[in-house]
Amino acid sequence: MHELTWGLPVIAYFFLAGAGAGAVVVSGSVLLRKGGFGASRFAVARYGALIGPFPVMLGTFLIVFELGQPFRALNLFHLINLSPMSIGSWFLNVFITLSVLYAMTFLPPSAAPGDRLSPIRRALAWICVPLGIGVAIYTGIMLGAMPARPLWNSPILAALFTLSALSSGVASIILAGVLFRRKSDDPAIRADFENSSYMLISSDALLLGAEMMVVFLFLLFGHLTIGDVRLAMTSILPGGQLALMFWGLVVIIGLVIPFVIELFQIVPKLVYDREFKSHIAIEVAVPMAILIGGFALRYTIVAAGQITAPMSL
């Protein structure tokens, strides 16, 4: 394989920033959702809020130092212009600040639905949701803004990275629920948490289904486009250098298998109104597969865009 100018730190940034932003978006969406607000839904919002800022900060740290001159790279956060890098850096700056403030509203031991911080928490959620979506979209636009790399120059890439970020955010919240959720013998409490699990899993199945459609469109766009873009696509098609990772980790492990398992979980309740039952083993294995697939997606796209020759400008 060719030497990669953008290596693991940049790839990790794309994954971590997307997953962290996705967790905050899911948290805010759950918090702002109308209807009955039980303890489990507040716990879901709390997990997403507390998880979200840290991957984004870590990813930003990695990409700043990957640029080789970290103190010069920090100038991106002080300049204001219409370049994708400058806009993205400001998005990250504002998002990190507000998402940390949003997370802090969940820290007090007394934090609960309707507490004294509830108005501030909801106001920050209204701001953080669109900001988080903007950060997730930016990870795709940053690549698409480089027309010399034909594989990245696709109008579908931003949508693909955004859906993957939201799904990774849901997966991280499900894992946090398994690790930190307290068991209870109270049937009402158990039913409340099962309803929240159903909400997360059904939402994730919808995201995975949409992501598979966008992957198909991404491949179709590359196949039907002549010239450099079609040539670049061969690296992830069967027989290409990254085909095994793309089809094995991204498509099969990261998308198809989790989607099928989640369908088997939600269809009985969705179609036949049967009681939904979550299983800890599935709630660990499926999110882990989604996160592995999300990282592999960024790796294959970033690497494949660099191992194919750049087009002339």
Residue 146, helix vs strand vs coil: coil
Structure-token pair, residue 52: 């979200």
First to last CA, the chain: 24
Helices (H), 67-184: 70-73, 84-104, 118-144, 157-180
Query: Tokens in use for 286?
Result: 């499926």
Give the tokens for residue 162.
């955004």
Check residue 4 and give its pLDDT.
58
Q: What is the pTM (predicted TM-score) of this model?
A: 0.88
Question: How far apart (Å, rounded) are the C-alpha atoms in residues 62 and 54?
Answer: 12
**Cα atoms in the 13 Å half-sphere on the side-chain side of 225:** 19
**Helix, strand and coil in the chain, % to nearest 5:** 75, 0, 25
Residues 26 and 202 sit within 8 Å (Cβ to Cβ) = no
Tens of each residue's pLDDT in the chain, 313 residues: 455 567 788 899 999 999 999 999 999 999 998 765 667 888 899 999 999 999 999 988 888 776 655 555 455 555 555 556 666 677 888 999 999 999 999 999 888 888 899 999 999 999 999 999 999 888 888 787 666 677 787 778 889 999 999 999 999 999 998 888 766 555 655 666 778 888 899 999 999 999 999 999 988 877 766 555 566 677 787 777 888 999 999 999 999 999 999 999 998 888 887 878 778 889 999 999 999 999 999 999 988 887 765 554 4
pLDDT at 313: 45
What pLDDT, on a 0 to 100 scale, did the predictor assign at position 303? 85
Q: What integer pLDDT is reported at residue 35 of this predicted model?
A: 60
Residue 266, both tokens: 């939600």
What are the chain's domains? 8-307 (1.20.1630.10)
Residue 148 in tokens? 């010399």
* 294 exposure class (CB count in 10 Å sphere: 0-12, 13-18, 19+): buried
pLDDT on residue 160: 93
**How far is residue 30's CA from residue 46's CA, in Å, rounded to a whole number?**
10
